[in-house]
Amino acid sequence: MFSKTFALDNYFMHLPEYLLDAGQVLVDSGALSVSLQDEKEGYWVMPWQEEESGEAEVAIGRKNVKAYSCDCTFFKEKKLCKHVAAALILVNKNVEEKKSRLNERKKQVAEKVPRIHIKNIVQHLSEKELRSFIVEQAAKNALLAGELKAQYAHKIEIPNADDKYFLVIKNYATALAQGKLNDLKFKKLVDYLQNLVFHGEDLCSTKNYREAALIVRGLVKYLAIVVPRYRGQEWPEISNRIHQFVEKILSEDLAPTFRKDLISKLRKIYLEEPYLILDEQYNLYRQLYRFAYSQQNIIYQDLGNYLADHQEELTALKVYFALASDEKDLREMQLLVDNYGHKIGVLRSLLKGMEENQSPQYKALLGYIANGNRGTKARNWAFDRWLLVEKNTKVKCTQLVDFIAREGRIDLLSTLKSESGNRWPQYYNAVVNLIRNTGNKDLLLSVLVFNHEDQKIKDLLKSEGNTQLLLQHAPYLSSFDQEFLQQKLEDHIR
């Protein structure tokens, strides 16, 4: 038999269409039928009779065709034929029919078995029986008790209810984890917290803000305590969902005194608990700053204190930098750049939001970086961005002169020439004078070459004995005075 393995139900993908059509004709005409079927061994034999007679054989595994053969001449040449195609069609048909019969029998058996539905049982229970059963089961199952409390605690008024939902969540999580929060248990905990968020949002929709506020405080407090303890878990997604709930309730039409009290109690959580910022957008500092209009400066200071204790957290830095931008605190942003902006990637990340929001401090901060003591890469990046936002041509040209002379950015000469227009000679001379005062002959030569100051180049090189400087600019010298270049090279050789 010819060995070839493929899925039986995909047999048609392994046969040419013309053979499939010819095989189907044989099946439809009854010219091929099963004469031997050994299902245990997966062996099928199908005789055929035309001008000559023979047999097609197929070997089937559990789901795959393993091998096949045929006595016809065409198969011997091509390792495939219409008889094999017909055989595969028949085998697949038989297998599918058998599956259908088995499924039908299972369905009939299932219909004969009487089913007991919970809904029917509950309908036949008295209120007393139902309550008794729930209390009994909840006493045995702490997780069930936690689910019941989360769903129905809003129906109960208790004194000193501030930690009502925090304790509900804590007890459920303790029963679930039992000392170790693995991935499976973590997923169940996240589902529980998510359901509590949904419940709180439903309470908001019915304007039960008091209970919704208790839920949100319980969620945030639990999150503040548990995240540092289990840092290996993926907290950001559920954290963002909980903080979205914070934003939802604070954006509701709350009574001013109620809103102020809720903000004060949420602030107390990040002051007293080991609260961590996990997301640049969804965190208590940013949300309370947005809604606590009279306390924005206090929350801004709180975040500064948080950053001082978490200096390695880029997310916290970005949040504080964004609030500093909102506060228009340019001096604080400059200090942040000095203290944290040692990498160009950090600088880009910090200033990205300012650029997108068209912050009025954006241009000033770019200028500060470009003229500061950051690395060359950072200064160049900042100056290039500054050029894009500065609209005053005179200011732009003045800064270009200083930056070219200070940083050696010869590539910016063309920008200066374009921006200065007919005042180019004035700005060009300013660049030359600044560079000449620094004594940087190499940079001065590059500037003279840019403006094709051939005579000044020759005068400068006449007084210079620097072979490297001569060789560096040799291609340009050869383009206007090869004799001078030859003479200088000979002088250096001597």
DSSP, residue by residue, 136-166:
HHHHH-HHHHHHHHHHHGGG---SSGGGHHH
Most confident listed range (72-76, 134-138, 339-343, 467-471): 72-76
Q: In degrees, to the nearest 5, what angle opens at C-alpha 484 toward C-alphas 480 and 488?
A: 135
Q: Of residues 39 and 413, which shows the higher confidence score?
A: 413
Q: Of residues 52 and 395, which shows the higher confidence score?
A: 395
φ/ψ (deg, to 5) at 60: -120, 135
φ/ψ (deg, to 5) at 158: -130, 150
Residue 44, helix vs strand vs coil: strand
And the tokens for 389? 């936002």
- Look at residue 284 and tell me whether its pLDDT is greater than 80: yes
User: Nearest Cα to 431, choosing from 411, 452, 416?
Assistant: 416
Residues 83, 54: contact at Cβ < 8 Å? yes
Radius of gyration of the chain (CA): 41
Q: How far is Cα 200 from Cα 212, in angstroms, rounded to an integer?
A: 5
User: Nearest Cα to 56, choosing from 40, 45, 41, 66?
Assistant: 45
| pTM, to two decimals | 0.64
Q: pLDDT category, 214, cuts 50, 70, 90?
A: very high
Range from 12-21, 84-93, 450-459, 475-484 carrying the lowest mean pLDDT: 475-484
Q: How far is Cα 483 from Cα 347, in angstroms, rounded to an integer?
A: 51
Residues 215, 165: contact at Cβ < 8 Å? yes
User: Nearest Cα to 162, choosing from 264, 251, 85, 265?
Assistant: 265
What is the predicted pLDDT for the residue at 400?
Answer: 95
Sheet holding 36-38, edge to edge: 2-7, 64-70, 53-60, 43-49, 36-38
Q: How far is Cα 286 from Cα 284, in angstroms, rounded to an integer?
A: 6
Q: How far is Cα 346 from Cα 308, in angstroms, rounded to an integer?
A: 17
Kindly tell me the number of DSSP H helices and DSSP E strands found in the chain.
26, 5
Half-sphere exposure of 335 (CA within 13 A, CB side): 9
Q: What is the mean pLDDT of residues 224-236?
A: 91
Neighbours of 82 (CB within 10 A): 26
Q: pLDDT category, 57, cuts 50, 70, 90?
A: very high
- Look at residue 491 and tell me whether its pLDDT is greater than 80: no
Q: pLDDT category, 49, cuts 50, 70, 90?
A: confident
Q: How far is Cα 485 from Cα 494, in angstroms, rounded to an integer?
A: 14
φ/ψ (deg, to 5) at 328: 55, 35
Q: In degrees, to the nearest 5, what angle opens at C-alpha 447 toward C-alphas 441 and 450?
A: 140
Using a pLDDT cut of 70, give the percent of the chain over it: 91
Q: How far is Cα 116 from Cα 82, in angstroms, rounded to an integer?
A: 54
Q: What is the mean pLDDT of residues 154-179?
A: 83
